[in-house]
Amino acid sequence: AQTVTQSQPEMSVQEAETVTLSCTYDTSESDYYLFWYKQPPSRQMILVIRQEAYKQQNATENRFSVNFQKAAKSFSLKISDSQLGDAAMYFCASPAGTYKYIFGTGTRLKVLA
Amino acid sequence: KAGVTQTPRYLIKTRGQQVTLSCSPISGHRSVSWYQQTPGQGLQFLFEYFSETQRNKGNFPGRFSGRQFSNSRSEMNVSTLELGDSALYLCASSLAFPDTQYFGPGTRLTVL
């Protein structure tokens, strides 16, 4: 079965510091996208960043960047200059067959003032 | 562009009843996926629709069904509700798989 693993149930970071959330995936797709989503207490899932697997360059969106290691099937999210508003659950997602994505179990990020 | 909308936002039902949830995708998006989110099971894929056709279905009992209309709006139905169906039901739309999915705010279903 195709899987997505987030091995860190909870992480803490000091405001203005940098934190990295881990994700490994196992997909048999040859061409795919990977995603990180953020779910704050409001429960709205918000897209953080997308990585196209055929691109070697790591995706970056402002303070958010990924470290994509295709051979290792690793897709970690780095948040720089952490802000209080970054506190949320973070989910990574990977394709799992046709017309279906699966999500990791999530990492709860706490930002300490 | 307006985002994905879901109605109702909150629902309280009793066991044995049925419920219908609605999702309106972003304009121009033709793929709609549904997920169930619970504290114990996380985000579980329910089904995906594209151009009124269900293209994939998750591992849920037949009590869970859905459909998509010609305007890409989608509904999901749960019949004979059980306590374990209490969850946040999320709808996501995209232009087409495997493009980026954008999520609605969810419908919180409580079964008493």
For the segment A60-67, the average pLDDT, to the nearest whole number, is 94
Percent of the residues in chain B that have a pLDDT greater than 90, as a whole number: 91
Residue A32 has pLDDT above 80, yes or no: yes
Q: Could you read off the pLDDT of B79-105 as tens digits, one per residue?
A: 999 999 999 999 999 998 888 999 999
Interface contact B42-A106, CB threshold 8 A: yes
Instruction: Answer yes or no: are the C-beta atoms of B42 and B35 closer than 8 Å.
Output: no
Q: What's the pLDDT at A30?
A: 75
**Residue A31 has what pLDDT?**
79
Q: pLDDT at residue B33 above 90?
A: yes
Cβ contact B42–A98 (<8 Å): no
Put simply, the answer to whether A37 touches B58 (Cβ < 8 Å) is: no
Long-range contacts, B79-85 (Cβ 8 Å, 24+): B79/B18, B80/B16, B80/B18, B81/B13, B81/B14, B81/B15, B81/B16, B81/B17, B81/B18, B81/B19, B81/B111, B82/B15, B82/B111, B83/B15, B83/B111, B83/B112, B84/B111, B85/B109, B85/B111
Question: Is residue A8's pLDDT more than 90?
Answer: yes
Residues 11-40 of A with CB under 8 A from B: 29, 32-33, 35, 37
pLDDT at A97: 79
| B106: nearest CB among A33, A43, A98 | A43
Check CB contact under 8 Å for A105 and B100. Answer: no
